[in-house]
Amino acid sequence: IAGITQAPTSQILAAGRRMTLRCTQDMRHNAMYWYRQDLGLGLRLIHYSNTAGTTGKGEVPDGYSVSRANTDDFPLTLASAVPSQTSVYFCASSDSNTGASTEAFFGQGTRLTVV
Amino acid sequence: GQNIDQPTEMTATEGAIVQINCTYQTSGFNGLFWYQQHAGEAPTFLSYNVLDGLEEKGRFSSFLSRSKGYSYLLLKELQMKDSASYLCAAMDSNYQLIWGAGTKLIIKP
């Protein structure tokens, strides 16, 4: 089934540990995004990638890093987790980041708890 | 700064009509999106407006006024499955989405 897949679906992580959230899409979309969603707040952009080989910082990039080695994969890494990074993380992709604006497709989310 | 405002929560009755409003302030504008998000699930696309006016898609319609920085989502013939959060998002001049906090819609029988 075509779409966007995230792993793991949930994780409890000790503070100070390193963690990589995985995201893979098979729709050949050029743009990919990582958001965090916290209660009472809108989706906030962490990092994005307009095309393979390029990445950019979003609204809340501190403490996170990304890479985009190929079109399909866009992993998000927390180098040293802190409790404030407890959140639901969504990966998304879209077919175009300029010109005609198209919808974004979302993964099912990763619920991360840092203790 | 950039900002999206929408009501936190609304309640409506099954079979009725509800209008969810959204106002936005962005640096440039490249369209207004509405997404639906059921509890514990990912957001899914509902509509996109870039020109003024009403876009109708089945029971759902979305309206945009660029001069007023205003949009609404209209849901007709409400069903219990419409209970969800509805997210408004505006695309700025850099083609980045600015998201509202979402409106939780509660449908009562």
CB A68 within 8 A of CB A53: yes
pLDDT reported for residue B95 = 83
Mean pLDDT value of segment A72-86:
98
Q: A-B interface: how many C-beta pairs under 8 angstroms?
A: 45
Work out the mean pLDDT of chain B and round it to a whole number: 95
Instruction: Name residue A28's beta-bridge partners.
Output: none
Mean pLDDT value of segment A5-21:
97
Tokens of B39: 């509890």
- Please, which pLDDT band fits residue A83 given cuts at 50, 70 and 90? very high
Closest by CA to B92, choosing from A80, A108, A26, A98, is A98
Tally Cβ neighbours within 10 Å of residue B88. Answer: 27
In chain B, which among 69-98 make CB contacts under 8 A with chain A?
87, 89, 91, 95-98
Tokens of B22: 């959204």
| Burial letters A13-47, b for 16+ CB under 10 A, else e | beeeeebebebbbeeebbbbbbbbbeeeebbbbbb
Tokens of B21: 């409003």
Closest by CA to A93, choosing from A28, A38, A36, is A28
pLDDT reported for residue A42 = 85
State whether B97 and A105 contact (CB < 8 Å): no
State whether A58 and B48 contact (CB < 8 Å): no
Tally Cβ neighbours within 10 Å of residue B60. Answer: 17
Q: Strand A64-66 and strand B44-49: pairing?
A: unpaired
Does the CB of B99 have a partner CB in chain A at under 8 Å?
A: yes
CB A47 within 8 A of CB A39: no
Q: Is the pLDDT of residue A99 over 70?
A: no
Which of B43, B48, B95 shows the shortest C-beta gap to A106? Answer: B43
Q: Is the pLDDT of residue A78 over 70?
A: yes
Query: According to DSSP H, which parts of chain B are helical?
Result: none
CB B22 within 8 A of CB B6: yes
Closest by CA to A87, choosing from A33, A39, A47, is A39
Blockwise average pLDDT, block size 10, chain B, 109 residues: 93 98 95 96 95 95 97 98 97 89 97
